Structure 1
Amino acid sequence: MSVADRTVKRLDRGEWALAVTVLLAGLGLAVGSQVLLVGATLPLWYVAAAIFGTPPTGTVRIGRDLSLEGESTTEATQAGDTSLSGDPSQRVTVRTTVQNTGSDPIVDLRVIDGVPDELSVVDGSPRTCVTLEPLETTTLEYTVSLQRGEHTFDVATVRTRDLSGTITETWSEPVEGQDEIRCTPTVESVALGNATTEYTGDVPTDDGGAGIEFHSVREYEPTDPVNAIDWRRYAANRELATVEYRAERSTHVVCVVDARPSQFRAATTEHLPAVDLSVDAADRTFETLVAAGHPAGVARFGSGAIETIPPGTDAETAERASRLLESISNSNKQMRFYTRTSSNNSVAELVTTLPGEAQVYLFSSFVDDDPLELVDGLRTRGYPVRVISPDVTNGDDSATQLEALDRTTRLARARAAGARVVDWDLERSLGLVLADAVGEVKHR
């Protein structure tokens, strides 16, 4: 770091000390006290330091280590990687080490680590104020709570003061070591239901066609390919027949996230709100479906207009879906009141944006009746529906227990309407929850 990159500021030029000198000297002359006259010279030393003092010439080296809470050393650190991966609501311990690399002591050293704005510090502090001897080190240790997304730590801000405290020098110091946290884990498999498109894929159907699993034998037609002829039958009785295999189709899936204000509720202060849990589950579901070659889309079911990203597998669709999910996750920081809207209108609007053969994955906590009305409306129109519902009704008080009972009733009614429901206990990891949501791929 060059001198040009540093900002020097004089906090005090000693005006008050001159006033004290004049006052003491005047009193000393008035009462004839030599003690006061000698004392009047002392503030002059402070004035001289403030006016003629030079900035402190401190140099430091800063390093940062990241680890999931409870782990001493991460695999990323051992491999020399500068990033760390974790799941939402997990906590990351940050250890930032500061060393005085100069030959002189730093009497007043202040450091602020560059914590990403999206991450909240839940324990410790990213700030310190210490005195360091040459080659001496100090460590800042604090804990942040992970949020969905990719987060990069910034450079550290360093400030030193001289011995008199009248001159400061401030600069940005690069930090060695880890500086990135990724909170976008993927899941190995996601459920594929029975709604398919006309395009070839890996979902078995009950239709005959191209595939690998035997379906039926029919009469031969002149347009049939030679490799589809049942040659064993022809060798036995000289009759031509065509073998058909179970056709495999790709499937369209739309991940619908309930983004109404009622979803901003969390089970406890230690848990994420339902909307953030739903966004993460929808994001991981979308990524896995696209990776498997299935066109997938995302829709916001909220108190305002319905927003939908049509199913696709291209990079542009993935980018648009990511932006929509990010906006849903950020919406709970901006909403201040609840506006009740007509669910019937919302269902009708959503249906107009869905492909006719699509499956719907609904992510909602079911703390009120609106998502149940959405399920009924979709099932009435013939859409296969799967529900992933984070449980945010944990609590021992009577009101919360009553809400939990109402929620259980709503999920039972959703099952009765023909939806497949996964009740997400927050003690279980998202990977296991989505594995339950997947199940076996059903035939059409």
Structure 2
Amino acid sequence: MWSKKAAAVAGGAIFLTLAGLIRLNYLFISAGLVMLTFVVLSSFLDVWMPNVKIRRETTSDNIFEDGTMSVKFIVKNTGLGIGFVEIYDSLPPQARIIKGSNYTLLYMKPWQEVSFEYSLKLPLRGHYHLGPVKMRVKDAFDLFYNERIEESVHSFSVFPQIEVLEEQIITSRAPKLLSGAMPLNLIGAGTEFYSLREFVPGDSLRSVNWKALAKKGKMMVNETVREDVMDVILLLDVRE
């Protein structure tokens, strides 16, 4: 693709050539033809642009809220071309860059390998991804360039931050009402039937299931769901 610089040089070359022909000024004609030849040759030299390969590395796949993730890019020119390379890594809207930048401009020499890195922070939990990567490769004269999008996407999760809360922080604004014993879905003392098991010495005869004894020919006792007094605390996450 043509850059603004290439279009300006080509336009100037055509203007000088036409002005030289009109005024019969061989200096203008020569300068215009030289500039036009330079632009045309440069357009064919775009095959000598850097052949760039990129790789992204991160410190972890998952972080906690307000945690920091470091991202490192390794950029390698796998050919003989030289030129400029622009790289932009797409980020979630909620991300905040605290060190470095997700954009860079590099001058790549043949077979050169360079790296850059940045650190970001995400304040809200959720599932996010980095990428895709937008890349622009220019020739050494910055006249022509190629653009492409690398579908290099890194998915990661942000977990809620874990904090140890003191007991007095979670309190009720009104006096608590005794709601009575609540089932805990555990075996223990209670009134709600849970399961049957075989009789063992020490079991109370009041817990013997006489119907099961008549049916199976051995003593079986009833196990019940444990009931206990407990507090129920409901926490709502109202963040957007």
TM-score with structure 1 setting the length = 0.37
Give the residue type in structure 1 aligned to 2:11: E
Equivalent residue for 2:113?
Answer: 137
Residue 254 of structure 1 is aligned with which of 231, 234, 239? 234
In the alignment, the residues of structure 1 paired with residue 183 and residue 163 of structure 2 have an alpha-carbon distance, to the nearest angstrom, of 22
1:103–1:134 Cα contact (<8 Å) kept = yes
Equivalent residue for 1:23?
Answer: 19
Instruction: Show CA shifts across 1:106-129 (max 9, x none).
Output: 301111113222212122111111
Give, in angstroms, the shift of residue 253 of structure 1: 3.1
Greater RCO, 1 or 2 (C-alpha within 8 Å, sep 6+): 2
Equivalent residues in 2 for 1:280-291 (5 A)? none
Give, in angstroms, the shift of residue 85 of structure 1: 2.1
Give, in angstroms, the shift of residue 160 of structure 1: 0.8
1:209–1:245 Cα contact (<8 Å) kept = yes
Instruction: Determine whether 1:329 maps to 2:239.
Output: yes
Instruction: Determine whether 1:84 maps to 2:62.
Output: yes
In the alignment, the residues of structure 1 paired with residue 57 and residue 230 of structure 2 have an alpha-carbon distance, to the nearest angstrom, of 44
Equivalent residues in 2 for 1:15-94 (5 A)? 15-23=11-19, 29=24, 35-49=27-41, 54=46, 58-67=50-59, 76=60, 83-86=61-64, 88-94=65-71
In the alignment, the residues of structure 1 paired with residue 94 and residue 180 of structure 2 have an alpha-carbon distance, to the nearest angstrom, of 40
1:89–1:147 Cα contact (<8 Å) kept = yes
Equivalent residues in 2 for 1:191-270 (5 A)? 199-201=182-184, 209=190, 224-226=206-208, 247-248=227-228, 252-255=232-235
Corresponding pairs, count: 199
In the alignment, the residues of structure 1 paired with residue 66 and residue 21 of structure 2 have an alpha-carbon distance, to the nearest angstrom, of 65
Give, in angstroms, the shift of residue 43 of structure 1: 1.5
Structure in which a larger fraction of residues adopt helix:
1
Give, in angstroms, the shift of residue 84 of structure 1: 2.8
Judging changes above 3 Å, is the alpha-carbon distance between structure 1 residues 56 and 170 closer, same or farther for their aligned structure 2 residues?
farther
In the alignment, the residues of structure 2 paired with residue 172 and residue 120 of structure 1 have an alpha-carbon distance, to the nearest angstrom, of 23
TM-score with structure 2 setting the length = 0.63
In the alignment, the residues of structure 2 paired with residue 131 and residue 141 of structure 1 have an alpha-carbon distance, to the nearest angstrom, of 16
SS of 2:84's equivalent in the other structure is strand
Unaligned runs of 5+ in 2: 193-204, 210-223
Instruction: Show CA shifts across 1:210-265 (max 9, x none).
Output: 69xxxxxxxxxxx95249xxxxxxxxxxxxxxxx998336754322xxxxxxxxxx
Judging changes above 3 Å, is the alpha-carbon distance between structure 1 residues 44 and 111 closer, same or farther for their aligned structure 2 residues?
same
Which of the pair has more CA radius of gyration?
A: 2
Equivalent residue for 1:437?
Answer: none
What percent of counterpart residues are identical?
A: 16
2:73–2:116 Cα contact (<8 Å) kept = yes
Equivalent residue for 2:132?
Answer: 155
Give the residue type in structure 1 aligned to 2:62: L
Equivalent residue for 1:316?
Answer: none
Give, in angstroms, the shift of residue 131 of structure 1: 1.7
Equivalent residue for 1:95?
Answer: 72
Equivalent residue for 2:146?
Answer: 169
Give, in angstroms, the shift of residue 62 of structure 1: 1.9
Give the residue type in structure 2 aligned to 1:115: L
Judging changes above 3 Å, is the alpha-carbon distance between structure 1 residues 53 and 107 closer, same or farther for their aligned structure 2 residues?
closer
SS of 2:13's equivalent in the other structure is helix
1:127–1:140 Cα contact (<8 Å) kept = no
In the alignment, the residues of structure 1 paired with residue 50 and residue 159 of structure 2 have an alpha-carbon distance, to the nearest angstrom, of 40
Equivalent residues in 2 for 1:356-367 (5 A)? none
In the alignment, the residues of structure 1 paired with residue 43 and residue 56 of structure 2 have an alpha-carbon distance, to the nearest angstrom, of 38
Give, in angstroms, the shift of residue 163 of structure 1: 3.6
In the alignment, the residues of structure 2 paired with residue 44 and residue 188 of structure 1 have an alpha-carbon distance, to the nearest angstrom, of 68
In the alignment, the residues of structure 2 paired with residue 10 and residue 104 of structure 1 have an alpha-carbon distance, to the nearest angstrom, of 22
Give, in angstroms, the shift of residue 138 of structure 1: 1.9
2:17–2:30 Cα contact (<8 Å) kept = no
* RMSD, aligned α-carbons: 4.0
